[in-house]
Amino acid sequence: MTDLITRPYWYLRHGETDWNAQGRSQGRTDIPLNQNGIRQAEAAGLLLARHWHDHAPIVRIVSSPLIRARRTAEIVADQLAAHGAPRLDIALDDGLKEVCFGDEEGKPMGSWYDSWIAGDYTPPNGESFADLRERAVSAVNRALEKDGVPLIVCHGAMFRALRSAMHLKPNVRLPNATPMWAEPGPTPVWNLTALS
C-alpha cells in the first residue's frame, strides 16, 4: 500500500453539478458544473486568493481531467490571477479522475456506499475503494514530488480515499468547492483546515 508523501497541499473538490444537486452518483460520468457550481468555484478562488499567505502559496494546480474539476481549476486560476497571484498553468492527471462506480453511475446514492468504503462491496463494473486509494495516493504523490505547494482539484470519493491515506475517518463528505489545507501532523494522522 502506497503512503502519501508527507508534504502539505491544498485540495479542492469541484463545484456543484446537477447530479450533485439531485443526489446521483457521478463517478466517471463527465457532468459539467451547473450555475451554482460556477459561483462556488469563483468563491473558492476568491477565498484562496484572500488566504494566499496564511499557509503556503500555491505554486501549481493539478486537476482531474473531468470537466467539472477542470472547469473549477480554470475558474480558480482566473480568480487567483485577478487578485494578484501569479497566473498558474493547470496540469491534468488522469490518475485524479473520480472513481468508476460502474453500474451505479447516474443512480441515486445508495446504501451500498458504506460497504464500498469498508471494502465489502464493489459496484458491478466499478472500482474498489482499495484500488481508488492506491490510485489517489499515487496521483497526489506525483504532484508532491515537485517543489512548492500544489492545489489538487478533484472529486469527493477521491478525497475519501485520501482521508484514508491520511489516517483519518474516510467516510466524511467534503462539500463542493471548499478549499482544504492538508498538512502532515506529528503522528501519522494529518491535519485538515477548511477555508470558509
Active-site residue numbers? Answer: 14, 98
Yes or no: say if 102 and 124 are a contact pair by the CB < 8 Å rule. Answer: yes
The letter for the amino acid at 143 is A
Could you give the 3-state DSSP secondary structure of residue 11?
Answer: strand
Report the candidate in 172, 189, 179, 164 with the shortest Cα–Cα distance to residue 55. Answer: 179
Residue 76 exposed, middle or buried by CB count within 10 Å (0-12, 13-18, 19+): buried
**H-run or E-run covering 151:** strand 149-154
